[in-house]
Amino acid sequence: MSLIILRADSRDKILNALADLERHAGLRVRGRPRIMKHEIADKMAASILGGNLRTRSRVAAAVEVEEGDTETIMAVRRIHPPAHIIVVSSEYDEYEDLREMFGTLKVLKGYYSYKKR
């Protein structure tokens, strides 16, 4: 299981990026994506990436996927979503913080899982 932070300018971009994760990256979203404060997402992203961010987000979300960290990272690298995607692997200090926070976050409305036919 992996945790992913999505940062973007709008809610629509977050929803499109989530669809891209399922459709194009082939990742299986577990449960419902959650809305998180964009300031917290920016702070975690800067810490994980080890530097300042070029832009600040206006909207952020967190999602849990069934695949492991390495598989998730490789899948995300293949796609070009409209949002900034950060895979928070278990080796980062932010992983436990996000894991604890995840259950308390509100569910992102408007998300519907892509179902293969």
Indicate if the pLDDT at residue 116 is higher than 80. no
Report the alpha-carbon distance of residue 85 to residue 18 in Å, rounded: 10
**Between 115 and 17, where is the model more confident?**
17
Bridging pattern class, strands 84-88 and 59-65 = unpaired
Report the alpha-carbon distance of residue 102 to residue 93 in Å, rounded: 15
Tell whether pTM > 0.75: yes
Please give the structure tokens belonging to residue 9.
């300018």
CB atoms under 10 Å from CB of 93, counted, come to: 11
Indicate if the pLDDT at residue 37 is higher than 80. yes
The residue extents of the domains of the chain are: 2-107
Rounded mean pLDDT, 3-16: 96
Rounded mean pLDDT, 45-63: 95
Is it true that domain 2-107 has CATH number 1.10.1060?
Answer: no
Rounded mean pLDDT, 3-24: 96
Indicate if the pLDDT at residue 117 is higher than 80. no
